[in-house]
Amino acid sequence: MPAVEEIKFDANGLVPAVLIDVGGNVLMAAYMTREAFLKTIETGYAVFYSRSRKKLWLKGEESGNKMKVKEIFLDCDGDTLAIKVEPKGPACHKGYKSCFYRKLVKGNWKIIMKKEFEPGKVYGKYLQEEAK
């Protein structure tokens, strides 16, 4: 696929990808490898590279909250992707619609969204510990 050749992956073979819902809300940021990008194109769902687990992961593979890809954009430098998605559920593994559920208010982080699910009821032990 010629489009992948225009992406500037870093020295570790990664490129940041920002997911945005069709309403324009920023949902999350993650990293893609060349393989993850090609899998995303192939499947129509967002696939990333987990740096902690050192493997590809289909967003929502455990929770069911998959991200159906609608459009993909490449920035002017060719080193960041923005992906417009139709989410099948909350994006955040901590239970919020967006991973950006905290806002800086008078020098403190304030939670600005309600939790949509409890991570302990959805994820395995690895993500339950991370979600705390």
pTM above 0.75, yes or no: yes
Q: What is the mean pLDDT of the chain?
A: 91
**Count of domains forming the chain:** 1
26 vs 42: CA distance, rounded Å: 23
- Give the 3-state secondary structure of 116-129: CCCHHHHCCHHHHH
Q: Give the tens place of pLDDT for each residue, 26-49.
A: 999 999 999 999 999 999 999 999
67 vs 59: CA distance, rounded Å: 7
pLDDT for 23 equals: 94
Report CA-CA distances (Å) from 94 to 66, 97, 114: 15, 9, 11
Collect all residues with Cβ–Cβ distance below 8 Å to 132 and sequence separation of at least 6: none
What CATH number corresponds to the domain at position 64? Answer: 3.10.20.810
Whether the per-residue pLDDT at 86 is higher than 50: the answer is: yes
Average pLDDT over residues 15-27: 96
Whether the per-residue pLDDT at 95 is higher than 80: the answer is: yes
Domain span at residue 53 reads 2-131
Kindly state the percentage of the chain with pLDDT values over 70: 93
